[in-house]
Each structure stands twice: as C-alpha cells, then as structure tokens.
Structure 1
Amino acid sequence: MKKFEEEHNGNHERWLITYSDLITLLLIFFIILYSFSKIDQQKYTALTNALGSVMGTGTGKLIGEGGGGDGVIPLPVPGNNDDSSSAEVNSGENTNSTEKDKLEELKGQVDKYLNENGLNSNVNTMIEDRGLIIRVDNTIIFDSGKADIKDIYKSKLIQVGKMLNSIENYIRIEGHTDNVPIKNSHFESNWQLSVIRATNVTEMLINEANINPKRLSAVGYGEYRPISDNTTTDGRSKNRRVDIVIMDTKFNKIEGN
C-alpha cells in the first residue's frame, strides 16, 4: 500500500514539469516578439524628423509618439506655414508685372518714333504672350522677290533697332511670305526667301544697330504662318512681313539654348 501511494503521488506532480516548460516557452516566445517590435530610438527620431520636414511641421509626430497625444501626423494648416509659398507666388507675379511694364515702356518708345517718322502705317507693334512684336511690312524694306534691304527706310529701321539695346531680352527675327510660288535666279522657294530676308534684317541689327549677336536669331516660315487670307490681294500683302520679336524673359531658357 505504501509503495502504491508513493507512486501515485509521484505521477500526480509530473504535470508541473510540463506546465513549467510551457510557461518557459511562452515567455521566450513573448521575449522574441518584443525584441522584434522594439524600435531603434535613433532611427525612430530620424524618421520622425524627416517626415516632419517633408510635411512642413518642424520635428513631426508619428502615431504612438510622446505622451499619448492625438496619435496622428499633424498636417500644415493653410495660412500658418505658407509664408514661403506666398512669397514665391508674389515674386512670380511681381516678375511678370515688371516684365510686362518693361515691354510696354519699350513699345511706347517705338510707337512714338514710328509716329514721328511716318512709319506707323507700315510698322505696327503689339504685345503677345511671347513678347513685344514689331511687325514690318515687306514693302518698305524689300522689293518683290528680293531679299536686299532697301535704303529708303533703312536708317529709320536702324534707329528702331538701337532702341532694343535698352533691354537685354532675346530677339527673334521671323521672315514670312504669301503663298504665291516663287522661282527665280535667286530663290527656288518661299522658304529660302523668308529665311534670307530674316537673316539680312538680323545682320543689319548686328552691324548697324550694334545689338549683341548672342541675343539674336533668324528664322523663316515661308507662307506657313499667315496672319490674313491669302486669297485676297490685301491679305497676301499683310502676310508678306518681317516680325521682330522681343521675347519675354520667361522664354530665356529656350532662346538661350
């Protein structure tokens, strides 16, 4: 009987060993989980600061940071942190306004000179998005089918060119023709005629008006940029022209390349 009781008592306490093993394994398991979930404080701080800089909120806050705050990343409130953005917008507006005023002033000077010298019926000025355009009727500078600049108004056009030295904008000289085909001993197409006319005006501005060649470019569009109807005599006359385009400075990168 005594032996049976001893064996019975021994078997009764064996479950404690299994239980303690289970508890130990669970403890190890939770320790491993904790070690996996533990965040490097330095990396955490660097991350929050980086996010804060991007969001414009200074040091920034992430979920669970600090003493039980709101648990969200605070977003910048319009009007609180947009001083720099407003300054940039205002700066852009001021630049555009200054550029427009500069071109308007130059236009006024050119118009005054044209009126005083009887050129206002053959030379017109206008301001478009790309800049100030001085539109010269071909009849006062070229003979039909030719690209040599006539002497009659050359000196006055040179004076207009000298006015362009008051600013530093890039200048594009554009040659245009009507759609009447041309083929003579000098030119085989309106393309050639428009390009050579634009080039000759450009060289006049360089050599006679002393404009820096780096500011100038010449291009010919032939008959393909009409401003009027080529089916009428008056329309074709308007299309035969040279445009001196003082480019808005917003196109500096394009023109400079």
Structure 2
Amino acid sequence: MTFADLMTLLMCFFVLLLAFSEMDVLKFKQLSGSMKNAFGVQAEIEVKSIPKGTSVVTREFSPGRPDPTALKQVKQFTIDSNQNTLDLLDRKSKEVEETQKHAKRLRLALQEEIANGSVAVETEGMKVIIRILEKASFESGQADVRPAFAPVLLKIGSMIDTNSGEITVSGHTDNIPIYNERFRSNWDLSTSRAVSVTHELLKTASADEGRFMVTGHADTRPRADNDSAENRAKNRRVDISIIRGGDIDDVTEQSVDAPVVSKLTIGVANDE
C-alpha cells in the first residue's frame, strides 16, 4: 500500500510538471536534427527556422500532405521561388549580349557603308535594326535595287544566321505622294522596295524563308518631320529588323503591326 501511494504521488507530481511546462520548439527541432542519423531523418536543405508544424509529433516539419516514397525514409525539401526569376533574367541578359555582339559584327562588316551614310546599324533590346537609306540603294521613285548596292545586301544576308528569329523587312517613304503606271501610292512603293531587298537577302541568308516578313508603311512611321529635303531623305528607307533570342513571339507582336498587308503585297509583287 505504501509503495502504491508513493507511485501515485510521483505520477501526479510529474503530470503537474508537464502541465505547467512550456516546450521550446526550436530546441526540439535542433535535438531532432542531431538525431537524424539514428532515426533515418535526412534534410536536403538545412532549415534553421522555427518549424511550421502544428504538432511536434509529426512525420515532417513543413505543413502539407506527405508524399510516400519507395524508400523508407523521410525527406524535407524547400523550393527557392526566386530561382525561376533569376534564370529568366540571366537568359534575357545573355540574349541582349548576343544582340550587341551581332550588331558589332554587322558594323565591322558595313563600316564603309556606315561611314558614307548609306547604312546605319542600331539595337533595341533583343532586336538589331539595319537601316538602308534611299540615296545609295534606290533611284528616286523606283523599287529596283541599284546594281552597285546589291553586294551590300548580299553581305548583310550572309550574316543572317540560323540563330536569328523573325527578320522583318519594312519599307518607308516620305509624305510626297506618288502615282504612276507602276505605283498607285506610297504604300505600293514602300512595300515593293521591301520585297526587292528581301529577294537580295534570301540569296545568301542561311535562315529559313519562313522567318522573313515584309511590310510597307508608306509615310506613317517617319524618323523625322517631313519639313525639309534632308529630313525627307531620312524617312525614305528600308529597315531590316533581326530579332535575336528565344522569346521571339513577345518581341514580334510589338514590332510587326501589319502582317496581312505584307503578305498580300508580296503576292502582288510576285505576280508582276
């Protein structure tokens, strides 16, 4: 009887101690981590934060449904949500760097034409723009490429490789109307010039023909005000836009505004 009373009192004493005690969850987590080898608990990423479980008696420390594994072991893993964003930014920066390198190669190959003002090379993000001015490439009011300028277009075409995305060739004119037997308006003239340039580029370009798109904008997108002969000469041009990188569709939607007009005009030019 004395022994039974003593055991009962000791049990009540420890129950009261447990009832009034507060468990240090962080210390429990550290203790359980030190015993991971003994109990077969492994962690792929060391976690030093306070466990998120609602109960200390659990198979995992992160809230969620446990996934059964073929091996008799419990693994805790975390996912870095910023990794995808960092990878995307890194890829974008590399694509912009490749665009700058491509533009540098074009400037070196066309340094003579750039010096005399017949060609200009610019970059916009992942896009390389080669501007061909009228004074060296076309006769006034004509859409046929001058024979002396054809080698320049062949040189440009040879530098359009398979790493290029969409290649948009767009024709532009000034605001002086034109109407003759061949061209009804500046729309016809600008698109026909773009088609002529495209035909020359395809002779040496290694990129697939399906990546080329031809547009004619007439005088709707001037680079300068049409208030002087010098400014009008700047507006009479053919732009070759080469998109670099993997995310081609996003840039293409912003740079190409009239694909239906372009394809229709190409058909008319081929019939002629």
Q: TM-score range by the shorter chain?
A: 0.5 to 0.7
Corresponding position: 1:142 with 2:138: yes
Q: Distance in 2 between matches of 1:158 and 1:92?
A: 35
Q: Corresponding residue for 2:47?
A: none
Q: Corresponding residue for 2:19?
A: none
Give the aligned CA root-mean-square deviation in angstroms.
Answer: 2.9
Corresponding position: 1:153 with 2:161: no
Over residues 200-248 of structure 1, what are the superposed CA-to-partner deviations in whole Å (9 max), with x where a residue is unaligned?
1112111343442011100011100001010111110000001100124
Q: Corresponding residue for 2:248?
A: 251
Amino acid aligned to 1:129:
G
Partners of 2:169 and 2:194 within 8 A in 1: yes
Corresponding position: 1:128 with 2:93: no
Q: Distance in 2 between matches of 1:233 and 1:82?
A: 62
Q: Distance in 2 between matches of 1:130 and 1:243?
A: 16
Partners of 2:162 and 2:207 within 8 A in 1: no
Corresponding position: 1:220 with 2:213: no
* TM superposition score normalised by structure 2: 0.61
Q: Distance in 2 between matches of 1:119 and 1:253?
A: 30
Of 171, 178, 190, the residue aligned with 2:174 is 178
Partners of 1:162 and 1:210 within 8 A in 2: yes
Percent of matched pairs sharing the same residue:
30
Q: Corresponding residue for 1:56?
A: none
Amino acid aligned to 1:178:
D
After the TM superposition, list the runs of 4 or more consecutive aligned residues in structure 1 that deviate by more than 2 angstroms.
65-68, 117-120, 207-211, 248-257
Name the count of aligned residue pairs. Answer: 186
Q: Corresponding residue for 2:184?
A: 188
Q: Corresponding residue for 2:230?
A: 234
Of 108, 112, 116, the residue aligned with 2:104 is 108
Q: Secondary structure of 1:186's match? A: coil
Q: Secondary structure of 2:231's match? A: helix
Q: 1:134 to 1:199 in 2, by over 3 A?
A: same
Q: Secondary structure of 1:106's match? A: helix
Greater helix fraction, Structure 1 or Structure 2: 1
Q: Secondary structure of 1:247's match? A: strand
Q: Secondary structure of 2:161's match? A: helix
Q: Secondary structure of 1:164's match? A: coil
Q: Secondary structure of 2:148's match? A: coil
Partners of 1:159 and 1:209 within 8 A in 2: no
- TM-superposed CA distance for 1:168, in Å, is 2.6
Q: Corresponding residue for 1:10?
A: none
Q: Distance in 2 between matches of 1:209 and 1:130?
A: 19
Matches within 5 A, 1:56-75: none
Amino acid aligned to 2:132:
V
Over residues 169-210 of structure 1, what are the superposed CA-to-partner deviations in whole Å (9 max), with x where a residue is unaligned?
211001000000000111010011111111111121113434
Q: Corresponding residue for 2:89?
A: 93
Corresponding position: 1:200 with 2:196: yes
Bigger Rg, which one: 1
* TM superposition score normalised by structure 1: 0.65
